[in-house]
């Protein structure tokens, strides 16, 4: 897993932002190589064995979701809810290949692309033939929808993967728009054009006003609960709160952000330069708890070797090592140590990993470990 650092990336502002969301990505990728999986319940996660209680669902097809299966659900619970589903193991190398092809297709469209994971990306569209002063007038919306649909078809034709596109003037609204598109295509009478949805000043109040505050991107359960305690449970009601009150309750940063967010504001910038990872990591949840220090040491060493291989394949050099330990009680701690000098030699990395293992008390069984290598700038 690579660590994202957006703040240091050059960016540019755009009139329109398109959020591309690949539908049920891992399931759709599996269906590319196994057409017998189409239109049946499919669940992807762990090693594909639903009897392994420490593994969770990564992706569920819409058929499985209809039975109550969701990402993050323990695999045995998923089996109970959807016993007839086909369970498949994660194949990260394959998903990386499929995702890379999708992102290449997006870049081929000639617009800046900011990748947000295997199945998400943003495109920035400037005025370029679209009247940037139109402010959401009908003809402008028609043009951007047509462009978004051309991009959708380009992805589908080149990769065979379905996707939805949300269109707006900032990232937050564009992501919400993609959510409306995904909801629309689940309808039995949905058409291909329903995979593109525009959310802007024209329809923001109507569509988002009655919805829970939790539906605003970046509003988590704690923030939503804090608002609900004050009787603020919809976006409309949040809009009625004075900025000064929000700042008093949540502090200047979050308070001002909530004031902007509920009115449909957000970030209209796209990173226009290639993203360079600042670190890479490997994590693993173990089928049985690790109960002694030497087990932990051996497991951490294995993870360190795996992430070192990735770093070396990219021609990068680590200078700091991190170890995360999650116990059987879900208590999670991370410790970091700088290497004596930057090096890709395991003789330099291994002793730092050992030292980190020794630095933990390990007074409880361990269920998860993660090793991270922080990298020198290229």
Digit-coded pLDDT (tens) for 164-185? 999 999 999 999 999 999 988 7
Confidence of residue 7 (pLDDT cuts 50, 70, 90): very low
Average pLDDT over residues 45-56: 90
Residue 136 pLDDT: 44
Helices 92-107, 138-159: axis angle to 10 degrees equals: 140
Q: Is the pLDDT of residue 139 over 90?
A: no
Average pLDDT over residues 374-378: 86
140 is catalytic: no
Instruction: Pick the range with the lowest mean pLDDT from 206-220, 246-260, 270-284.
Output: 270-284
Digit-coded pLDDT (tens) for 286-309? 889 999 999 999 999 999 999 999
329 vs 210 pLDDT, higher one: 210
Q: Is the pLDDT of residue 187 over 70?
A: no
Nearest to 192 by CA among 158, 151, 159: 151
Beta-carbon-side half-sphere exposure of residue 241 (alpha carbons within 13 Å): 29
Q: Is the pLDDT of residue 135 over 60?
A: no
| Candidates 63, 120, 143, 345; catalytic one | 120
Residue 1 pLDDT: 44
Contacts of 157 (CB under 8 A, 6+ apart): none
Tell me the three state secondary structure of residue 216. coil
Confidence of residue 142 (pLDDT cuts 50, 70, 90): confident
Residue 92 pLDDT: 85
- Bridge partners for 369 per DSSP: 284, 325
Instruction: Print burial letters for 55-78: b (CB count within 10 Å at least 16), e (below 16).
Output: bbbbbbbebbbebebebebbbebb
Any idea of the CA torsion for 37, 40, 45, 50, to the nearest 10 degrees?
-110
Residue 192 pLDDT: 64
Confidence of residue 127 (pLDDT cuts 50, 70, 90): low
Residue 129 pLDDT: 40
Average pLDDT over residues 117-143: 68
Give me the chain's average pLDDT, please.
Answer: 89
Residue 6 pLDDT: 42
210 vs 55 pLDDT, higher one: 210
What stretches of 235-359 adopt beta strand conformation (E)? 269-271, 279-290, 318-327, 332-338
- Bridge partners for 13 per DSSP: 269
């Amino acid at each position: 897993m690579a660590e994202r650092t957006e703040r240091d990336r050059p960016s540019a502002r755009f009139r329109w932002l398109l959020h591309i969301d690949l539908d049920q990505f891992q399931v759709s990728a599996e269906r590319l190589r196994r057409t017998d999986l189409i239109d049946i319940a499919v669940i992807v996660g762990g090693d594909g064995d639903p009897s392994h209680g420490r593994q969770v669902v990564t992706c569920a097809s819409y058929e499985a979701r209809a039975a109550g299966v969701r990402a993050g659900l323990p695999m045995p619970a998923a089996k109970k809810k959807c016993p007839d589903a086909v369970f498949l193991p994660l194949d990260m190398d394959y998903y990386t290949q499929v995702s890379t092809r999708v992102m290449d297709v997006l870049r081929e469209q000639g617009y800046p692309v900011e990748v947000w994971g295997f199945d998400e990306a943003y495109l920035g569209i400037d005025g370029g033939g679209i009247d940037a002063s139109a402010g959401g007038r009908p003809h402008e919306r028609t043009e951007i929808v047509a462009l978004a649909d051309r991009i959708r078809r380009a992805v589908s034709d080149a990769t065979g993967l379905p996707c939805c596109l949300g269109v707006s003037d900032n990232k937050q609204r564009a992501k919400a728009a993609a959510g409306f598109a995904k909801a629309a295509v689940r309808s039995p009478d949905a058409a291909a054009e329903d995979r593109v949805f525009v959310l802007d000043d024209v329809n923001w109040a109507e569509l988002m006003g009655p919805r829970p505050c939790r539906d605003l991107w970046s509003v988590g359960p704690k923030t939503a609960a804090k608002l609900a305690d004050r009787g603020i449970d919809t976006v409309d009601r949040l809009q009625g709160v004075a900025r000064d009150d929000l700042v008093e309750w949540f502090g200047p940063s979050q308070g001002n952000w909530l004031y902007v967010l509920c009115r449909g504001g957000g970030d209209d910038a796209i990173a226009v330069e290639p993203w360079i990872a600042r670190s890479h990591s490997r994590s693993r949840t173990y089928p049985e708890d690790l109960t002694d220090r030497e087990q932990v040491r051996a497991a951490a060493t294995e993870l360190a070797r795996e992430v070192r291989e990735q770093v070396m394949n990219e021609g990068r050099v680590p200078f700091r090592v991190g170890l995360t330990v999650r116990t059987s009680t879900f208590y999670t701690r991370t410790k970091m140590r700088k290497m004596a000098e930057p090096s890709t030699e395991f003789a330099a990395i291994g002793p730092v990993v050992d030292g980190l293992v020794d630095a933990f008390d390990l007074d409880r069984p361990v269920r998860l470990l993660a090793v991270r290598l922080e990298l020198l700038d290229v």
